[in-house]
Structure 1
Amino acid sequence: MMILKKPMTIILSFIVLILILLVVGKVFVSLKFKNEVGTLFSESGNISHKKFHYNQLQGLPEPVQRYFRLVLKEGQPYISYIRLKHDGLFKTDQKKDWVAIAGEQYFTTQTPGFIWKGTTSMFTAKDRYISSTGRLVVSLFSILKIADGRGEKYDHGELLRWLGESVWFPTNLLPNQHLQWFPIDNTTARLAFSYNNISISYIVSFNAKGEIIHFQTQRYMGDGGLTTWIGIVSNYKKINGVKVPTTIEAIYRLKEGDFSYAKFKVNKIEYDKPFKF
């Protein structure tokens, strides 16, 4: 028995060390994320002095006018900062099972930007567009980095994400020097956005109520080529005086079939609170 005591002590010490490293690592990651949120908000400004008025809708495609009349009220201040929380399901590969995920996300509008952190039982994913730069980092158990995507394809893809998720803060979809709407038919319109030498666009579909229900674009799938990407939103609710969807599904349309990889349900949205939850 005495012979086994030393190996058991070594094993227990090793386990304790691993647990300490995990705790320290998670604390470090949490502090780093808080700093990144602070950087995001510091790089943008407050535009709540601007107000939405229905006369701004003149000349816009008919379904776009219906949308803004539905989701915004006369005199609605422009939204500057957004923070939200969600839960849902996530899939890393078509052949993998869905896993539960919880996320929090922060956006700015005067300067395009966002940061998102999604946490599962096994990994943490962090998506961001800050300082005109896109990046995707995935870490095992929140501390061991297993993927770090960056470069022009990620700049393009993360700016697309920011624009599509503007359905959660719809004053960001009003026309400005960077953003335009173009007519297609009574239920669809093209949304075009140009910023920092990147031009992106969506084909946006609306239902009879005026809700945006579907948007489609060409997006890089990781480091691969451009692929059809689809976002489906639903379950609109009035939150903070603004009508927004509370569920979203993200899909890549591949040759072998649609790859649905994210199904999120928003639990909380708050405006113009430029600090972390």
Structure 2
Amino acid sequence: MLLIPYVLVILIIAILIFLLIPYSKTRSEFNNIILNNTKSTSKSTENFTLDDIKDLPGPVAKHFLYCGLIGTPKMSYMKAAFQNVNLISANKILKVNYTQYNFVEKPERFAYIESSLFGIPFEGFDSYKDGTGSMKGVIAKLFPIFDQRGPKMDKACLVTILAESLFIPNIALQDYIIWEEIDDTHAKATITCYGISASGIFTFNKDGAMIAFRTDDRIATDMDGSEREAEWSAIIEDYQTIDGIKLPKTLKAVWHFPEGDQIYFNENGSIVEITYY
């Protein structure tokens, strides 16, 4: 019996060491998928041309010109990284680091979220590959607290790729996206892949900058698994110029609930770092 307290102390120390070491199964899974995808991705050797945008709706073509894309290399995939972002879930604010990759040739997207709950590591992994979407959360590196899949998640992940198509504008030129002009500052787009379609409306300002995307093809899903129907928006509040190209600087995501709008991602205005490959 005298050994029990010592065993407990050793067990607690072992758990603390495990939580503090950098390794995690979820991060390793994310890194391996990104490594495999980047290795198998065909790198584009073309530049954006005026001919590429001649059949796009007016405000979309104007956006390409506003961003200074003509004559620059077409990207094959994008990395976007946020640091210290406010993520609101289950009425709690989490400070998270968020890293995502979007791929052009096939509409694929992967995101890794790193945070903590009550001092215990929390990780999230969002994935859309081969037409299948998923969103899972893991606490203490080992224990799943949600793993959401199914047709609703497939569609939600697909429309997220559409929402971000002008963040990595080579996606906007792919055959799996169809554009429709609405007026001088609005255009509708529909993405179709693996037998699923999703659509939304892009809004542009008078200069041609895309400032918002709105859709009803997503379901608000919280960490506790609860679902609510609501329209969803991606908002660009500002642009920054990197290597002569205007890129989004501050991105936010909003649920439009009947009781009012909720900025659930990046309410604190963290700046995004975008890199093209």
TM tier relative to shorter chain:
0.7 to 0.9
**Equivalent in 52, 55, 58 of residue 56 of structure 1:** 52
Give the gaps of 5 or more residues in structure 1: 273-277
**1:275 matched residue in structure 2:** none
The answer to whether 1:199 aligns with 2:197 is yes
Q: Which residue of 1 aligns with 2:254?
A: 251
Out of 175, 178, 183, the position equivalent to 1:177 is: 175
Give the paired residue count.
Answer: 265
Which whole-Å CA distance do the structure 2 matches of 1:55 and 1:7 have between them? Answer: 75
The answer for the alignment partner of 1:236 in structure 2 is 239
SS in 2 for 1:35: helix
What amino acid does structure 1 have at the position aligned with 2:189?
L
Q: 1:271 aligns with which of 234, 255, 276?
A: 276
C-alpha contact (below 8 Å) 2:254/2:265 kept by paired residues: yes
- 8 A Cα contact 2:79 2:276, kept in partner: yes
Contact 2:86/2:265 (<8 A) preserved: yes
C-alpha distance in structure 2 between counterparts of 1:257 and 1:76, whole Å: 41
Once the two structures are superposed, residues 145-171 of structure 1 have per-residue CA deviations (whole angstroms, 9 ceiling, x without a partner) of 100011111111111112212332122
Q: Is contact 2:156–2:219 with CA below 8 Å preserved after alignment?
A: yes
User: For structure 1, which segment, 194-203 or 28-37, has the greater mean C-alpha deviation from structure 2 after superposition?
Assistant: 28-37
Partner of residue 37 from structure 1, selected from 21, 34, 49: 34
Q: Deviations over 1:107-155 (max 9, x none)?
A: 2111111111111122211111122211101111332110001111111
Residues 189 and 201 in structure 2, CA contact (< 8 A), matched pair in contact too:
yes
Partner of 2:99: 104
- Secondary structure of residue in 1 paired with 2:52: helix
Structure 2 counterpart SS, 1:116: strand
SS at match of 1:121: strand
Q: Which runs of 5+ in 2 are unaligned?
A: none
Cα distance in 1 for partners of 2:67, 2:185 equals: 16
Range with bigger deviation, 154-163 or 233-242: 233-242
Partner of 2:14: 17
- What is the aligned counterpart of 2:68 among 65, 72, 87? 72
Q: Spell out, residue by residue over 1:16-45, the C-alpha distance to the aligned partner (whole angstroms, 9 max, x if none).
A: 132244357943333222212223335543
SS in 2 for 1:107: strand
User: More helix by proportion, 1 or 2?
Assistant: 1
Could you say what secondary structure the match of 2:256 adopts? strand
| Contact 1:22–1:143 (8 Å) recurs in 2 | no
- The answer to whether the Cα contact below 8 Å between 2:212 and 2:236 also exists between their aligned partners in 1 is yes
TM-score (norm 1): 0.86
3-state SS, counterpart of residue 7 of structure 2: helix
Higher alpha-carbon deviation: 228-237 or 20-29: 20-29
**CA–CA distance in 2 between the matches of 1:85 and 1:143?**
24
Structure 1 distance, partners of 2:250, 2:15, is: 38
TM-score after normalising by structure 2 = 0.86
Choose from 209, 212, 225 the match for 1:211: 209
Secondary structure of the 1:208 match is coil
Cα gap change, 1:31 to 1:56, in 2 (>3 Å):
closer
Tell me how far apart the structure 2 counterparts of residues 227 and 245 of structure 1 sit (CA, whole Å).
Answer: 25
Find the aligned partners of 1:240 and 1:191 in 2 and give their Cα distance.
Answer: 28
Larger displacement relative to structure 2 (146-155 or 72-81)? 72-81
Distance (whole Å) between structure 1 residues aligned to residue 110 and residue 243 of structure 2 = 21
Distance 1:26 1:215 in 2: 36
For the 8 Å contact 1:49–1:77, the answer to whether it is kept is yes
